[in-house]
Amino acid sequence: DVKVTQSSRYLVKRTGEKVFLECVQDMDHENMFWYRQDPGLGLRLIYFSYDVKMKEKGDIPEGYSVSREKKERFSLILESASTNQTSMYLCASSLGRTGNEKLFFGSGTQLSVL
């Protein structure tokens, strides 16, 4: 089975800190995604990557950046954390680009910014 591993289950940070969220997938998937999930808003796409060193903005990229130096690893960076970035962050990967491609999700990182 595909495994998508997120480095932390819970994270507490202070306003203004730089925050790194790490994600690793073990199935040689081309595509990787970062979503945030908030009650009533569902999953919103922050950034995605279709290849190493490539990145594209999703629907809500402001305040975030990403890094993909290796195929299996996709990092989400909060340059200066703010309280409105308190959320559940979900990483996902997929094999190719078909209309019904299956996303494999990690278990999420619950980030609290105080």
Partner 1 sequence: QKEVEQDPGPLSVPEGAIVSLNCTYSNSAFQYFMWYRQYSRKGPELLMYTYSSGNKEDGRFTAQVDKSSKYISLFIRDSQPSDSATYLCATRTDSWGKLQFGAGTQVVVTP
Judged by beta carbon, residue 1 or residue 69, the one nearer partner 1 is: 1
**In the window 16-55, what residues touch partner 1 (CB under 8 A)?**
39-45, 48
Count of H-run helices and E-run strands, the chain:
0, 11
Can you name the residues that pair with 3 across neighbouring β-strands? none
DSSP structural state of residue 103: P
Residue 48 vs 85, nearer CB to partner 1: 48
Pick the closer one to partner 1 by CB: 91 or 113. Answer: 91
> Where on the chain is the footprint of partner 1 (CB under 8 A)?
4, 39-45, 48, 58-59, 90, 92, 97-108
